Structure 1
């Protein structure tokens, strides 16, 4: 049986020093911050964590920092994204992840030479998964960044027979028809983790019970209230919470995209530095305007607390 994860899994930012080097010293406080705010897991080295901008050595160091804390506290499920474009490199990362004690790994679609079918994608993932048969394996579906638009239902049809340790999918896309088909596949066998924070409520309606998100880092109370309202049948309140999530997320677009997430972290008191190039970071002047816009949301009680 697959152990499905319920609740909020944060996709942590990788803290950086001012010189652009990774700041491992910040991770223990970050771990405690997530735990305190009711987060059940950490999806590390993903898009939010700048995994594609880190070296292999850096990704191993980040993984070691998170798993060392987990061995001590056992509070968060740690899922490590291992890549990527080269299955050989992904296998190296997967084996290192297993040695370090992650709870699961995730695999990203090749984003240069792209698989054209569910079978090709499953064959690529199977090469990596078979190297760590003891570990649960997730596929990370984010076609807006990978350009791989293979249907996940088609992928599951192929992968279910090729990958015995496949646990599920982190689904960061808006195809609700495909998502529901994956939820229903083989009587709901696989763990389908929703990856679009701005429409989490819609995924809950379809049957999702776990999600992975960047905004869970700094606004966990908002999503806890959303889920609670939905579970209690208070759909008016649930929709209100989702709209506040949307209003908050709109500021990411206004201030340049993914790097705005680290500005939100600074706003709640967790300094993560800046994103690496080529991502555009916020100027000091822009941050002042951003702070004013965040205060105008009037949702201070819904942000995570230190």
Structure 2
């Protein structure tokens, strides 16, 4: 397949669904569901961009070979349907990350994202920048996003510090997926952001606060099944209807607050997507445990009581 056009062509905005990885009941990747999944997101949720092989996609539980197969299938089936497919290529190994970045360029991805390695952690901003540079350099035409998620990685480099002078080191840099609760740092990222960058927020229950700070869009797992409602939230905010936007945000918080009391982890989140969408995405891969049936039904009942059909 052809290599992508230069990185400056498209700006990533709006809602981006962080996709789950479909597995069979035996725990193998299930490519057959991906086409149905994409149609569901577009037609039922009004979501037109996806972030694949990320945290929600259980990337760290996948082999490099599996991630390549999945990325290629997502890109192939999304062509002509999704606005953008961003492939997360971060790994603990620099070489694995580079291999996945090169592959993403070959299959026509619209961008790549990289999480900070979190076994041998970068201890300074400079170390993290150097790691990201080495990954980005092997796919220089692809828009490059830093995936900031300090609660998972334990790498507490401020997003704003990372942005300082980043384009001199990584010319293809196009923004940050900011999955952290530090709204001061997030605001500083937006304030420093260049016109062709995207600062995307990744804490679904705090999206409205991020929009007030100037977020260009959002990446999240719940947008797989409440995307249509969150699109309404964003539209209400754009129109200056804060009461409506706040009402929807509070509904999201009510659902997630209820779910967290029942251990809302990736396994529960994935099962909720199965129940709401009717897709067969399978269970999570160990060490993440499958969702107990009673938990799934309780959360599903709560979901239906809060959110009517789109």
- 1:136-176 Cα offsets, whole Å, 9 max, x none, are 11000001111100011111114232111111100000111
User: Alpha-carbon deviation of 1:259?
Assistant: 1.5
SS of the residue corresponding to residue 199 of structure 2 reads strand
Match of 2:306, SS state, is coil
Shift of 1:285: 3.4
Matches within 5 A, 1:143-292: 143-185=150-192, 187-256=194-263, 257-268=265-276, 269-292=278-301
- 1:107 aligned counterpart, secondary structure: strand
TM-score (norm 1): 0.93
Structure 2: which 5+ residue stretches go unaligned?
1-7
- The unaligned stretches of length 5 or more in structure 1 are none
Structure 2-normalised TM-score?
A: 0.92
Q: Report the Cα distance in structure 2 between the residues aligned to 1:205 and 1:155, rounded to whole angstroms.
A: 22
| Contact 1:252/1:258 (<8 A) preserved | no
Counterpart of 1:298?
Answer: 306
Equivalent residue in structure 2 for 1:27, among 20, 34, 42: 34
Q: Which residue of 2 aligns with 1:63?
A: 71
Residue by residue over 1:212-246, the C-alpha shift from the partner in whole angstroms, topping out at 9 and shown as x without a partner, is 01000000121011111111111111111000011
Q: For the structure 1 residues 186 and 219, does the alpha-carbon distance in structure 2 shift closer, same or farther, using more than 3 Å as the test?
A: closer
Give me the whole-angstrom Cα distance separating, in 2, the residues matched to 1:175 and 1:291. Answer: 30
Give yes or no for contact 1:118–1:154 (8 Å, CA) kept in 2. yes
Moved more, 265-274 or 90-99: 265-274
Distance 2:201 2:22 in 1: 24
Residues 16 and 251 of structure 1, relative CA distance in 2, 3 Å threshold: farther
**Which residue of the partner structure matches residue 41 of structure 1?**
49
Aligned ranges for residues 3-18 of structure 1 at < 5 Å?
A: 3-18=10-25
Contact 2:255 2:302 in 1 (8 A): no
Name the counterpart of 2:91.
84
Aligned residues: CA RMSD: 1.6
Alpha-carbon distance, 1:186 to partner = 5.5
State the partner residue of 2:5: none
